Amino acid sequence: MKKIIRLLTVMLLLLSVLAGCTNKPEEKGSVATDGSTSMSKVIGALGEAFELETGITVTYNATGSGAGISAVLEGRCDIGLASRNLKQEEIDKGLVGTVLAYDGIAIIVHPDNPINDLDLETIGKIYTGEITNWSEIGGEDATIVVIGREAGSGTRDGFEDITKTKDKCVYRQELTSTGDVITTVASNSAAIGYASVASVKDTVKAVTVGGVAPTEENIKNGSYVVQRPFVLVTKKDTKLSDSAQKFFDYMISEKARKIISDTGVVPAN
C-alpha cells in the first residue's frame, strides 16, 4: 500500500512539472536600434507602445546618425536611425532609407536673449563667423558663442545643408547630443545652438526663422524651412528578423501616426 502511495505521489509530481512546462510563457524576441540622438523621443514612444502590444523588447543605442548607419552596415543592430537622408555612397553600399517623420531643427538661444527672429542668411553668417557679436543684429553687446553638433551628426548635416554652411562653420563647441546642446545654450546667455524641435525645453528659446515659428503645422506645410527627415535605415539584401520586421511595420503603420505626432514631429505616412 505504501509503495502504491509513493508511486502515485511521484506521478502527481511529474504531472505538475509537465503542466508547469506547458504553461510556461512563450519567449518573446527583441529588436536593436542604433543611431540619431534626435530620434530618442519618437523611438522611445514607439518602442514602448510596441512592447506593450507584443511583448517584444526594443533597445535603443543613442550614438548619432553616422554611427547608427555604420552599425547597420556592420550588422551590429537591426534598424539604424538617421536624422538625415542617406548619402549616395551609403545607398551604393546597399543601405535603404525609409522616411518615418519630418522634424524641424530649432534655432535656440538663451531665454534672456532679446533676439526673437533670425533669417536664414543671418543664421549662416553667425555660424561662419561673419557676424560675431549680438549687437550687430540688434542684440546686446556680447560675443556670440556658437554651439553645434559633432561631425557625423544628422542634425549637423541637416542644419549645414539648409543654411549652406557645410565645412564653413566656426564652432566654439561641438557636442555629441541634442541634450548637451540644449543644456549648454541654457547656461550661457550669449550662446546660440540648434536642436530637434521635438527635444526643445523651456530652458531655452526657439527663435522664429524669417518670421515663421517651428510648429508642427509649419513643418508639415513646409513654411518652416529648417527641417529634415527622420529615417529608418536597413540593408537591401539582408532580411530583418521576425521581431525587427514587426517593429518596422508597426512604425510605418497608421496606428503609429498619433504616437509620432504626440512626440512633436510630423509623420511621413
pLDDT of residue 1: 52
Q: Pinpoint the residues of the chain covered by CATH 3.40.190.10.
A: 30-102+229-267, 104-227
pLDDT of residue 23: 38
Q: Which homologous superfamily does the CATH classification assign to the domain defined by 30-102+229-267?
A: Periplasmic binding protein-like II (3.40.190.10)
- Whether the pLDDT of residue 147 is over 60: the answer is yes
Pick from 31, 26, 23, 81: nearest CA to 56 = 31
Distances (CA, A) of 98 to 37, 85, 101, 237: 18, 9, 9, 15
pLDDT-derived band at 3, boundaries 50, 70, 90: low
Q: What is the pLDDT of residues 97-114, one digit of tens each?
A: 999 999 999 999 999 999
Q: Give the span between the Cα atoms of 8 and 3, in whole angstroms.
A: 9
Mean pLDDT of the residues in the chain: 90
| The domain defined by 104-227 carries CATH number 3.40.190.10 | yes
Q: What is the pLDDT of residues 18-46, one digit of tens each?
A: 444 333 334 479 999 999 999 999 999 99
Q: Check: pTM over 0.85? Answer yes or no.
A: no
Three cell numbers written together for 252:
510605418
pLDDT of residue 25: 35
Q: What is the pLDDT of residues 148-199, one digit of tens each?
A: 999 989 899 999 999 999 999 999 999 999 999 999 999 999 999 999 998 8
232-45-218 Cα angle (round to 5): 70
Beta carbons of 126 and 168 less than 8 angstroms apart: no
pLDDT of residue 220: 85
